[in-house]
Amino acid sequence: MTENDILGFDPSQLSVFNQEQTQHSYGPSNIYRTKPAESKSEDGVYRSTIKIVYNPFDLKHSILEQQSYALHDQDGWFTVVSKLTNGDTNCPIFKAWKKCRYAEEGTALKAQLDKHIFDKRFARYCVVQIIEDNNQPDLVGKFMFWKLPKSIFDIINAKMNPSKESRKAPIPVMDFLFGRSIDLEVIPGPDDKNAPERKLRETSYMGEISEDIVSCTNPDGTPLLSAAEQAVLDKYVSAMQQVWKSRDPEARATMLAQINADPNTAQLQNIYRRVLDDIKKVCPNIEEELGYKDWTPEVQDRVNKWINIVLQGNDPAVADDVPDVLKGSSEPAPSTPTSTPASADPFAPENIDNDIPDDLPF
């Protein structure tokens, strides 16, 4: 059994659950945006039902923890995904920050930290299938990326990665065929005439995980399985329900051994191989689209210029170019950028991404 065997995959083995948690944006068209401003409810709450699913291309890396920098120079704002996303500290912006961080007190470099020039951002992304959404009905059935709020991540974490002390079994919430759905409520912040940005900045996310299993569908809403295949899945799920409910690790191991030895499970494994191939055809690849990639030469030059000015103790947003302090540097290129228009201030009220709740650390 390989680590990516879907039937043998332990949901608690997602890489995001097994690494040191960092407390620290990006926007292709296939990001699912749940904005209260687009709610059709009278109370302004954005409601939908979603399934957070595994990355079909790499089950273990199903939640991408993206680290990026929002940089400001005389040409405007631009955002780059950092190599830190891959746990690689050879990011030139991060190295520049360290030079400022460990500079002597009272120096121009040390003062750069007080100016908040280094705007590092952190976001978790996952893949979802939209099950129900009356606000954007054209999206129902689609597989899309979603910026995972901390409150929803915590709910999933509790189910998929329970503590040993709880003696609970990991529940495969993100499984394509026998996972769960989440009823999502995105609640806008208060109306405050003195601070109108609170309506966006204080957006909160609530979610309830279904008790029953919910299978993914084809994007057009048709079932992934035939009637005969569904019967195989139903038999497997009926047996697994006892495993998921058990608080006795030894009893769970015994039941799992019996289920895995059942010919029905071997049959389901064959079905799942076909299902996974079909899902790969309609599901975007999260690491390819949101993960780290090398910068273009133009962006690398722009970042180097930004770093040059910072290391001279100046503000790139207002200072002219300075002598190239990195000339001859062999710094490796970091990641794929996304750019906002040169004249756009990303912190202006009209440009605040109200997908970013207050409980996400930036």
The rounded distance, in Å, linking the Cα atoms of 233 and 267 is 9
> Rounded to whole angstroms, what are the CA distances from 145 to 32, 64, 114, 287, 348?
6, 10, 34, 11, 25
What does the block give as tokens for 319? 């200072």
Is this structure's pTM higher than 0.75?
Answer: yes
Q: What is the spatial distance between Cα 289 and Cα 146, in angstroms, rounded to a whole number?
A: 12
Two tokens at 22? 């960092």
What distances in angstroms separate CA 146 from CA 124, 127, 152, one per listed residue? 8, 6, 11
CA 325 from chain center: how many Å? 36
pLDDT computed for residue 333 by the predictor: 40
Enter the tokens of residue 46: 């954005």
Give the model's pLDDT for residue 144: 98
C-alpha distances in angstroms, 305 versus 82, 106, 296?
17, 24, 14
Rounded Cα distance between 122 and 264, Å, is 43
DSSP string, 86-134: GT----HHHHHHHHHHTSPTTSHHHHHHHTT--EEEEEEEEEEEEEE-S
Instruction: Give residue for tokens 């299978």.
Output: 215
pLDDT for 10 equals: 75
Beta-bridged to residue 187, according to DSSP, are 204
Neighbouring CB atoms inside 10 A of 341's CB total: 11
Within 103-226, where are the H helices?
A: 108-114, 150-160, 198-201
**pLDDT digit string (tens) for the chain, length 362 residues:** 444 467 767 777 676 555 443 333 334 579 999 999 999 999 999 999 999 999 999 999 999 999 999 999 999 999 999 999 999 999 999 999 999 999 999 999 999 999 999 999 999 999 999 999 999 999 999 999 999 999 999 999 999 999 999 999 999 999 999 999 999 999 999 988 899 889 989 999 999 999 999 999 999 999 999 999 999 999 999 999 999 999 999 999 999 999 999 999 999 999 999 999 999 999 999 999 999 999 999 999 999 999 999 999 999 999 876 555 544 443 434 444 444 343 343 333 333 343 433 333 22
Structural domains in the chain?
A: 11-351 (3.90.198.10)
